[in-house]
Structure 1
């Protein structure tokens, strides 16, 4: 049996064929034997014939084995990731056209792992405007990142700009383009090509957020058929926008400013906050009145405070928006609006009390609020509920030695005294051992 010098014996084509035959059998015991055979191969590299056999085997459909979470085809194709150049690019492309989606995703990664010009050319075609668009799988983290180590990877720019408009691809395409920009691998013409190509994508996402925001403001709040009450329909679009805005922040200011000003002009204050911090980061001026308008929205204020803090520009925001109470309100609303919590911001929220976190003013304070949502939200029957955030100093900074939090256990206001509510919230977090001293 052939082997690499000083290494394990090479995996051979007959072994692949034997495992494939077992995995295709109708009885489950044979299929389990096939999976065990694949597991025993470990790190054995395939010889050229075995590599081609693995590629062919991964294009087939296999019956599932109970209690096994990984598709046999995926197990087989992942073996090639250890030696990505063991198969020709043309073979990978041919397999891509007839494979299942999850296998196609691994094949794209396999081409990226080649880290050579051939792989870059193939990827540019498969994800580009002339490729088989209906076969493009959704990306996963780091899918095409290895290809960026190739000297000619900047040739992928037109294809990356194109694929950014595909559903689910904006974040990964923006991530790859941003890396190319930050590493100085794109020239001025390419910078402008990126901005020109992605400007319509950004505009369409901003418009979708604007429509949703204006629709929410004018509607009676009744959800459409099949839509969860209070659900934030802009969440996915804002996630894509965040990735694209991060890319535009990396581009020269004169190139990015026109697109970022469109983001700033959004009717959705949370989107506008993204544009504001990006423009300030690029050295572009913003009227204080515009920042005030954005900061009135608690969720957008949280976004704005994070962004301005990151670029050391908090002083651009009026003091009333960055006070401890104002920051606590923003963080609590953002936390409540998360899909894992209420999934919507409160319809009403009021500050009820400020509780010192220690004996010294520098220890900051925890701010407690009551809030409620209207029907048909599931929490509406509870009426006013209690939430808390902090500890923050008066200037909005986090008290030293403390971990800031924002949380609620959704207990009704009349179920306990405020001290009891806070104890329950802190106990649920497990981060404040001396809660009784508050």
Structure 2
């Protein structure tokens, strides 16, 4: 299919067979670069009707372009025509959410002309989302040997754009720290970075004093806070790596902010600049779980390990820090816990690992104005905590819940009641009858669970006046009352406990 208009007609024209169109698009995941270029030309030449009638097609094709290039050997990806990427990027509507993927494609290709084009677009027409900018630049962190001079110093003109500045500074810091550049590429921009740091510190001071001035909802305030923190971290690191003593007063002001991550970065920068005040604060921050891993990394980099108390360098202390950082992410609790306590540490076999792995089980607590919140979290095979309250579970059952949650296999799945066939319904009816004979009442199946050739019914039920969830396979019965709990276990949670019991029992006996 060599004609561009024919391709678009095949994809979106009247009377098109959706199945054939989808099959063709799927085949492009493994197509050579020439086919991708044909798609790009087709889009450029037919952009107006596609934007008007089928904007979703653009999203799909841009994602396809990204995934295709990620599969290509680097020497093939580098043959991609950068002019086509630029032409399409410049003509797509700026509000298109996937437009930034074209910039990511330039970074994946990593040829000199791709990087020159990327630098120019980041300066002149960059995404206004700092997370998207981070994704765009990620291939340049993952690979070495690309032509740094193709991007620098031109891309440094993008530092004026706060959405882009953090990503560019992080890249320059990475290149210098990893030895890919002998001279930090922001040395000549240090006079711009000092006032930027001052402005960011002032902004965060205002956020701390009056967060409502920066948004009507907690989500809006957190977005402002996240953007400012990400940028201030990058600026502190750059100034320290460059060795800008003139930044010391601003770094000291940053270290006085209440946010632990900023305190850590400012203290680390001051320590790198051989300021005792920064070294002392860095050592103190090792006691803070949410700051500990970063503190230890700086201490190792700066030769300060012997100044950190041994209790903060143990495997358990590092695991505690991992959980605190995970909980502090915006998608989780957004702030570190008020308290973390190690409940259990054991070496055990775990699904997905060939050798026994250290498993750490923690209890964490939050003290909010509207009430307290507690739960259990795991570190080792993963870092995770549930929405449902599992603080009442015995340690072995808590491990089982996490093991069952993580279990993935083509022979592990569930079938909801609405999809049961006649045979599955008969199996469930037998299980329900047996549960009733065991004293359970109002047994209401939720789904059938299939686990490596075995099956069990998962049902809501009541017993002795308590409502709960049970899993029954004809031999083994798991029952958890849920009455009176603020965040009770769901049917899915109890199914995961059932699976996890079997998995860990098999692996560790």
What is the aligned partner in structure 1 of residue 89 from structure 2?
96
* Counterparts of 2:65 and 2:314, CA distance in 1: 57
For the pair 1:426 / 2:399, whether they are aligned, the reply is yes
SS state at 1:71 partner? helix
- Pair 108,325 (structure 1): closer, same or farther in 2 beyond 3 Å: closer
| 8 Å Cα contact 1:264/1:272 also seen in 2 | yes
Equivalent residues in 2 for 1:134-145 (5 A)? Answer: 138-139=132-133, 140-142=135-137, 145=140
Q: TM-score, normalised by structure 2?
A: 0.55
For the pair 1:371 / 2:365, whether they are aligned, the reply is yes
* Counterparts of 1:365 and 1:38, CA distance in 2: 43
* Counterparts of 1:88 and 1:332, CA distance in 2: 42
After alignment, is 227-236 or 95-104 more displaced?
A: 227-236
- Pair 208,178 (structure 1): closer, same or farther in 2 beyond 3 Å: same
What is the aligned partner in structure 1 of residue 168 from structure 2?
173
For the pair 1:290 / 2:281, whether they are aligned, the reply is yes
What is the aligned partner in structure 1 of residue 6 from structure 2?
18
Q: What do residues 373-432 of structure 1 show as CA deviations (whole Å, max 9, x unaligned)?
A: 3344xxx3xx46355788xxxxxxxxxxx879786877487xx5xxx5544443334499
**CA offset at residue 306 of structure 1?**
4.8
* Counterparts of 1:365 and 1:48, CA distance in 2: 46
Of residues 207, 232, 239, the one that matches 2:230 is 239
**CA offset at residue 242 of structure 1?**
4.0
* Counterparts of 1:320 and 1:156, CA distance in 2: 44
More strand by percentage = 2
**CA offset at residue 327 of structure 1?**
6.8
- Pair 229,422 (structure 1): closer, same or farther in 2 beyond 3 Å: farther
* Counterparts of 1:266 and 1:18, CA distance in 2: 60
**CA offset at residue 156 of structure 1?**
3.0
For the pair 1:385 / 2:385, whether they are aligned, the reply is no
Q: What do residues 213-271 of structure 1 show as CA deviations (whole Å, max 9, x unaligned)?
A: 3447xx9xx9974326996863443334444555555x343579647555434442321
Of residues 279, 290, 306, the one that matches 1:299 is 290
What is the aligned partner in structure 1 of residue 151 from structure 2?
156
- Pair 350,94 (structure 1): closer, same or farther in 2 beyond 3 Å: closer
* Structure 1: stretches of 5+ with no match in the other structure: 1-10, 359-363, 391-401
What is the aligned partner in structure 1 of residue 260 from structure 2?
269
What is the aligned partner in structure 1 of residue 299 from structure 2?
308
| 8 Å Cα contact 1:164/1:173 also seen in 2 | yes
- Pair 289,97 (structure 1): closer, same or farther in 2 beyond 3 Å: closer
- Pair 276,19 (structure 1): closer, same or farther in 2 beyond 3 Å: same
Of residues 315, 335, 340, the one that matches 1:344 is 335
Q: What do residues 103-122 of structure 1 show as CA deviations (whole Å, max 9, x unaligned)?
A: 74344355556655544443
What is the aligned partner in structure 2 of residue 126 from structure 1?
121
| 8 Å Cα contact 1:336/1:345 also seen in 2 | yes
* Counterparts of 2:307 and 2:388, CA distance in 1: 35
**CA offset at residue 274 of structure 1?**
1.8
| 8 Å Cα contact 2:101/2:136 also seen in 1 | no
After alignment, is 425-434 or 304-313 more displaced?
A: 425-434
Q: What do residues 317-339 of structure 1 show as CA deviations (whole Å, max 9, x unaligned)?
A: 45676689977775654444334
Q: TM-score, normalised by structure 1?
A: 0.62
* Counterparts of 1:404 and 1:76, CA distance in 2: 31
| 8 Å Cα contact 2:293/2:318 also seen in 1 | yes
RMSD (CA atoms): 5.3
SS state at 1:342 partner? coil
**CA offset at residue 144 of structure 1?**
6.9
| 8 Å Cα contact 1:387/1:407 also seen in 2 | yes
- Pair 240,329 (structure 1): closer, same or farther in 2 beyond 3 Å: same
- Pair 366,226 (structure 1): closer, same or farther in 2 beyond 3 Å: closer
| 8 Å Cα contact 2:89/2:102 also seen in 1 | yes
| 8 Å Cα contact 2:268/2:279 also seen in 1 | no
* Counterparts of 1:256 and 1:294, CA distance in 2: 24
| 8 Å Cα contact 2:326/2:383 also seen in 1 | no
* Structure 2: stretches of 5+ with no match in the other structure: 348-357, 404-499
Q: What do residues 92-147 of structure 1 show as CA deviations (whole Å, max 9, x unaligned)?
A: 5443321244674344355556655544443333222xx24589993325467399
**CA offset at residue 28 of structure 1?**
5.2
| 8 Å Cα contact 2:122/2:164 also seen in 1 | no
**CA offset at residue 297 of structure 1?**
4.8
- Pair 200,148 (structure 1): closer, same or farther in 2 beyond 3 Å: farther
What is the aligned partner in structure 2 of residue 253 from structure 1?
243
| 8 Å Cα contact 1:157/1:177 also seen in 2 | no
